[in-house]
Amino acid sequence: MRTSSIADRVRQIRGSGIREFFDIAQRMEGAISLGVGEPDFVTPWSIREACIFSLEKGYTSYTSNWGLPELREAISDKIYKESGVYYEPEGEILITTGVSEAFDLALRAIVNPDDEVIIHEPTYVSYKPCTLFAGGTSVSIDTEVGDEFKLRAEKIEEKITEKTKAVVLNYPNNPTGATMRKKDLEEIADVVNEHDLIVISDEVYGKLTYEGEPTCFSSLNGMKERTILLNGFSKAYAMTGWRLGYATGNKEIIEAMMKIHQYIMLCAPITAQMAAVEALRCDDEVERMVSEYNRRRRLMVEGLTEIGLSCFEPKGAFYTFPSIANTGLTSEEFAKRLLFEEKVVVIPGSVFGDAGEGFIRCSYAVSQYEIEEALDRMSRFLEKHCVV
């Protein structure tokens, strides 16, 4: 095989740092994983029952490329009820195989070669690779723990060039757990309007907000037509393995996304879609899970602080992002040594961009026992090796 068989853009990308640690932990007996962003709850019974019933009725076919009409109608109703923004079920809503596919489709639908996409860091691991795969150039903006990892409008303004096409937003944020106030998002909306930009707003953690109410970016003045709003069922409904997400936006962009989707994915699984219709009725179950995450959040932050790791208090998602600056280790060194010496999986902040160096991501979507045991092991690790 010729040495140049692999595309250059693929060669530039390293494998997912999250999956690297996950795969090691899977083979390690007695490991406690605070690494993967997956709810430890089983999908609520009524959602599973809807799936089972659909199979018993023989629903095993393809759906429309757009997704089931009844699911798109339910999503339209839900968004309107919660944010006051109306999306037409026909033409403005596309059902996708997870939010990850939706994000990939959004970029490929709008990005031309060398277009620039502004991405705030620390950031989810797929955003920059997907930008590269779409032929674009990612432009990073560092956010800082001293400013609660918020993205500021003036920082966006500084990065805008004639090549800037889009801005990516992810609040509540993975990996930091940061949220944004409506006023701060309105300032970003003003910049977006002024420079004729598109926003890709990944709001999959929106329901996992513990202080205040989340702001849907497309609900802001002039933003519906400029925003590709992404959401899904993995996090709030404990449906990670069902692989179901959706995108909403103006018809031209959503139509372009559907065109790509129909060639590479065709449609999301029908059973997952039918289950999702039921999921949108499960507000009580979501509230129960969010209440438990909130309790674990406080437990994790207090525990990390007690063992000597300074920790920003997350306001959303289910991650903490403590600083390890006082250990003398890089984030990757810390994570690897902790894994092999104490069998605790955390994710080095460096996999989320340069701004993540000096931090680790710890998920609290695990049981109270696992949180407490992990904290004990981390405390022992710090006492033996690291605190300077």
Residue 299: CB atoms within 10 Å = 15
Fold entry, domain 45-281: Aspartate Aminotransferase; domain 2 (3.40.640)
What's the confidence (pLDDT) of residue 286?
96
- Note the pLDDT of residue 29: 80
Q: List 316's β-bridge partners, or say none.
A: 209
| pLDDT for the residue numbered 200 | 98
- Could you state, in order of their start, the residue ranges of all structural domains in the chain? 8-43+284-386, 45-281
Region 271-291: what's the mean pLDDT? 97
Nearest to 106 by CA among 169, 157, 158: 169
Binned at pLDDT 50, 70 and 90, residue 3 comes out as low
pLDDT at position 13 over 90: no
* Mean local confidence (pLDDT), 55-76: 97
Contact call for residues 232 and 102 (beta carbons, < 8 A): yes
DSSP H stretches of helix in the chain: 8-11, 17-26, 45-56, 69-83, 98-110, 127-133, 153-159, 182-194, 251-264, 270-279, 283-306, 331-342, 368-381
Write down the pTM of the prediction.
0.94
Fold classification of 8-43+284-386 (topology level): Aspartate Aminotransferase, domain 1 (3.90.1150)
CA distance 66 to 196: 28
Burial class (CB in 10 A: 0-12, 13-18, 19+), 269: middle
What is the number of alpha carbons within 13 Å of residue 8 lying toward its C-beta?
1
pLDDT tens-digit profile of 204-238?
999 999 999 999 999 999 999 999 999 999 999 99
| Count helices and strands in the chain by DSSP H and E runs | 13, 12
| Percentage of the chain exceeding pLDDT 70 | 95
